[in-house]
Structure 1
Amino acid sequence: MNSPPKRRIIIHREKRRTTYFSEPLSDEVGLDMVQIPGGTFLMGAPEDELHNRKSEQPQHSVTVPSFFMGRYPITQTQWHLVVGYPEVKRELKPDPSEFKGENRPVEQVSWQDAVEFCQRLSVKTSRSYRLPSEAEWEYACRAGTQTPFHFGETLTDELANYNATKVYGRGVKGQSRGKTTEVGQFPPNNFGLHDMHGNVWEWCQDDWHRNYKGAPEDGSAWVDDDSKNNQKVLRGGSWFNYPRGCRCAIRFNDTRGGFLSGGFRVVCVPVVAGRVPRAMDSS
């Protein structure tokens, strides 16, 4: 008896030219930073999006200035190199990740460690590196789309590293790899960014808020004056999350001190002390 054919899932994929610069971390290793054009988008999930949460609402318009963002989450090789830079405020573990691999994303990194990484990188390069604001992260993830995933209405295990044993919408079941995968293994979004869905959760600058009531509309980080708020925002889902936990709008929170599958990618402002990154084009 013949088995029924797999249902075809139509995913939106579009090839675009990206502009980036590569920050040298050593003679052999660089950090690719993709230019994200400025624009206005609707942040958060609409009320009719499948598996939406109250923390993702109200959906609101945000205008984001242009910035540069890491093409991939920070890898273990990049982490090892920057750990060797002079300390700014705190020590960093040279090898915190559970799933070892030079090109796998670094994980088990606290928000405080991610900030220290950015500070060391900034001092070394004389550029301003930092974590993305939550608005910058979602804007970069969506890359001009408003669907639950930047690929379209659903996700497959050929497009991202997540727990595909459950489906989203009209998707199909797939595998759960049970670990992180090397960065860049899956197709990029329209801005040229890889691994925005799944693989590792990514830290943002923002303090955690239960919803978007009162959120900034200029793309800046939402940080409270009250230092008692110890909760920070993570975005994007990870290797162990079902697809509903990897949507563009998904938000999670944890203390500054750590999160087991926490990773991050960095943002760079275009100009610091008169230094303009020399951008290159790639298709």
Structure 2
Amino acid sequence: MTLRGRLKNTGCFMLLLFAVTGCVNLRVPEGFRAAPNRKPEPYTRTGWAHAVIHEKTGIEMVFIPAGTFEIGSPESDAGRSVDEGPVRSVRLTQPFYLARYEVTQDQWLEIMGDNPSRFEGKDRPVECVSWDACQQFLQEAGNGLSLPTEAQWEYACRAGTTTAFFFADAFQNYFGDDQGLLGRHAWFDGNSDGRTHPVGLKAPNPWGLHDIIGNVWEWCEDGFADARNVSPDGLTTDPVGPTDVEHRVLRGGSWLNLPWLCRSAFRNMAPPQTRSMLFGFRVAAVPSD
């Protein structure tokens, strides 16, 4: 008898099929389909698919579990800005999906019908897009897509780490050999050759997000609020920045920036109508029952 026959006779064939294919009855948000299973993920315990594809745009998104983390940076961080605020605890009560890659020019063109980017290439991140234009894209794309909040962004970028970068602690020398470690994960001024690059070429963070640092700055939903006077005591739940301010948050650094701007806690800002070849975005979505 063949191995397959023996397995069927012992009732183990479906178990083996599950182990090999990852097939399981997972929930998928409306307007999405399950993405191919790249590797087993612990987040499937929630019942939601670990990765999904937005059907209208083709954007692949990774499941990010709810949790508590430390936002901000200690004063000892090299290159720290005072508006990063003290390290403090934040709880995100809802899981969410975050795009595995920055939105590409091809995806933008499919929805918006134009390509504003300075560095053209269908798999490169779209840039020269304002926060306002991103909102138009999200409305057209539908299915609850949004920009991530600043807290969601830093939580996903850190991916459970507490160091200055998700792959290492603060560099002792930004211009020494340590740049090679950053270069494996990000396009920045030391390796970009003065331009953006196709998404996904660099190693991802521990939660499977590519280019979460470097390549282009990423718009967040929040208005920018100075965090230097925020109390480090207590626990903040699901924070969202103000809406009645002149600037919106940008995170992650870009192809033009020095390494210290790519730290997980570094914050940037710009008026929502600003278009720059440094600015792009990735999308988020909160699944609902």
TM-score by length of 1: 0.77
Contact kept? 1:16, 1:191, Cα under 8 Å: no
Match of 2:237 among 192, 213, 218: 218
Per the alignment, residue 62 of structure 1 pairs with 90
Q: Partners of 1:147 and 1:198 in 2: how far apart? A: 17
The equivalences for 1:136-175 within 5 A come to 136-153=152-169, 154=171, 155-164=181-190, 175=191
Q: Partners of 1:202 and 1:156 in 2: how far apart? A: 18
1:80 is paired with a residue whose SS is: helix
Give 1:83 deviation, angstroms.
0.9
Per the alignment, residue 36 of structure 2 pairs with none
Give 1:156 deviation, angstroms.
2.7
Quote the sequence identity (%): 41
Match of 2:248 among 202, 213, 232: 232
Letter in 2 for 1:25: K
Letter in 2 for 1:73: E
1:183 is paired with a residue whose SS is: coil
Higher helix share: 2
Give 1:146 deviation, angstroms.
0.8
Q: Partners of 2:213 and 2:265 in 1: how far apart? A: 11
Which runs of 5 or more structure 2 residues have no equivalent in the other structure?
A: 1-38, 44-49, 172-180
Letter in 2 for 1:156: L
Contact kept? 2:86, 2:230, Cα under 8 Å: no
1:262-282 per-residue CA deviation (whole Å, 9 max, x = no partner) reads 1000111112xx6xxxxxxxx
1:203-226 per-residue CA deviation (whole Å, 9 max, x = no partner) reads 0011111225459922332124xx
The equivalences for 1:12-27 within 5 A come to 17=41, 19-25=50-56
1:5-55 per-residue CA deviation (whole Å, 9 max, x = no partner) reads xxxxxxxxxx873711111236xxx11011001110000111111111111
Letter in 1 for 2:157: C
Per the alignment, residue 41 of structure 1 pairs with 69
Find out whether 1:100 has 2:113 as its counterpart: no
Pair 55,79 (structure 1): closer, same or farther in 2 beyond 3 Å: same
Pair 142,205 (structure 1): closer, same or farther in 2 beyond 3 Å: same
Contact kept? 1:43, 1:60, Cα under 8 Å: yes
Per the alignment, residue 140 of structure 2 pairs with 120
The equivalences for 1:74-113 within 5 A come to 74-84=103-113, 94-113=114-133
Q: Partners of 2:140 and 2:259 in 1: how far apart? A: 34
2:261 is paired with a residue whose SS is: helix
Per the alignment, residue 219 of structure 2 pairs with 203
Query: Higher relative contact order at CA 8 Å, sep ≥6: structure 1 or structure 2?
Result: 1
Give 1:148 deviation, angstroms.
1.1
Contact kept? 1:56, 1:212, Cα under 8 Å: yes
1:177-215 per-residue CA deviation (whole Å, 9 max, x = no partner) reads 210011000111111110011000000011111225459
Which runs of 5 or more structure 1 residues have no equivalent in the other structure?
A: 1-14, 85-93, 165-174, 275-283
TM-score by length of 2: 0.75
Q: Partners of 1:16 and 1:237 in 2: how far apart? A: 30
Pair 16,249 (structure 1): closer, same or farther in 2 beyond 3 Å: farther
Contact kept? 1:160, 1:186, Cα under 8 Å: yes
Structure 1 vs Structure 2 CA RMSD: 1.8
1:60-89 per-residue CA deviation (whole Å, 9 max, x = no partner) reads 1001121001100100000001114xxxxx
Letter in 2 for 1:31: I
Larger radius of gyration: 2
